[in-house]
Amino acid sequence: DFYSLLSKLLGGRKEVVHVHKHNPTEKGESDLVAEIANVVQKKDLAREITNHDERDNTVLVRDRTQKFHRLESTLRPPENRHFSLQQSKHGEGGWEKEHKGDFHIEEVVEWTGLDLKLGQVSGLALDPENNLVVFHRGDHVWDENSFDSKFVYQQRGLGPIEQDTIIVLNPSNAKLLHSTGKSLFYLPHGLSVDKNGNYWVTDVALHQVFKLGAKDKEPLLTLGVPLQPGSDKNHFCQPTDVAVDPITGSIYVSDGYCNSRIIQFSPNGLYVMQWGEETSLGRSGPGQFCIPHSLALIPDLSQLCVADRENGRIQCFKLETGEFTREIKHKAFGRELFAVSYVPGGLLFAVNGMPYPGEAESVKGFVMNFSTGEIIETFIPLRKSFEMPHDIVASEDRTVFVGDVHAKAVWKFASVEKMEHRSVKKAGIEVQETKESETIAEARLKNKPESRDPLKNMDKQHLVQQASSTGVSFVLITTLLIIPVVILLVILVFIRWKKPTVYGADGERKLDSSSGRILGRLRGKGGGGINLGNFFASHKGYSRKGFDRLSTEGSDQEKDEEDGTDSEEECSASPLPPAPSSS
CA distance 556 to 282: 116
Laid out side by side, the sheet with 409-415 consists of 105-107, 409-415, 399-404, 389-394
Classify strands 347-352 and 337-343 as parallel, antiparallel or unpaired. Answer: antiparallel
Name which of 367, 336, 355, 354 is nearest 404 in CA terms: 354
* DSSP 8-class letter at 532: H
Query: Residue 396 falls within a domain, yes or no?
Result: yes
Residuewise pLDDT in 10s, the chain (583 residues):
555 555 555 554 444 444 444 444 544 555 555 556 555 454 443 343 344 444 455 444 445 544 444 444 433 333 333 333 333 333 344 444 334 446 799 999 999 999 999 999 999 999 999 999 999 999 999 999 999 999 999 999 999 999 999 999 999 999 999 999 999 999 999 999 999 999 999 999 999 999 999 888 899 999 999 999 999 999 999 999 999 999 999 999 999 999 999 999 999 999 999 999 999 877 899 999 999 999 999 998 999 999 999 999 999 999 999 999 999 999 999 999 999 999 998 999 999 999 988 888 899 999 999 999 999 999 999 999 999 999 999 999 999 999 999 999 999 999 986 454 444 443 443 444 444 344 433 434 444 444 444 444 444 454 444 444 455 566 677 777 788 888 888 888 888 777 655 444 444 444 344 444 444 444 444 444 445 445 444 444 444 444 444 333 333 333 344 444 333 333 333 444 444 433 3
Q: Is 257 a known ligand-binding residue?
A: yes
Q: Is 391 a known ligand-binding residue?
A: yes
Query: Residue 317 falls within a domain, yes or no?
Result: yes
CA distance 401 to 131: 11
CATH number, residue 305: 2.120.10.30
**CB atoms near residue 59 (< 10 Å):** 11
Query: Is the whole-model pTM more than 0.85?
Result: no
N-term to C-term CA, the chain: 127
Q: Is 136 a known ligand-binding residue?
A: no
Q: Is 293 a known ligand-binding residue?
A: yes
Q: Is 124 a known ligand-binding residue?
A: yes
pLDDT above 70: percentage of residues in the chain: 58
Query: Residue 542 falls within a domain, yes or no?
Result: no
For 285, the domain range is 105-415
**Type and span of the H or E element at 554:** helix 552-564
* DSSP 8-class letter at 186: S
Query: Residue 525 falls within a domain, yes or no?
Result: no
Query: Residue 566 falls within a domain, yes or no?
Result: no
* DSSP 8-class letter at 158: G
Q: Is 140 a known ligand-binding residue?
A: no
Phi, psi (degrees; rounded to nearest 5) at 201: -135, 160
Q: Is 509 a known ligand-binding residue?
A: no
Query: Residue 158 falls within a domain, yes or no?
Result: yes
Q: Is 453 a known ligand-binding residue?
A: no
Cis peptide before 256 (omega within 30 of 0): yes
Model pLDDT for residues 382-411, shown as the tens digit of each residue: 999 999 999 999 999 999 999 999 999 999
Angle of the 2-9 helix axis to the 54-72 helix axis, nearest 10: 140
Phi, psi (degrees; rounded to nearest 5) at 125: -160, 165
Q: What is the domain count for the chain?
A: 1
Query: Residue 319 falls within a domain, yes or no?
Result: yes
Q: Is 480 a known ligand-binding residue?
A: no
Classify strands 288-289 and 277-278 as parallel, antiparallel or unpaired. Answer: parallel
Query: Residue 229 falls within a domain, yes or no?
Result: yes
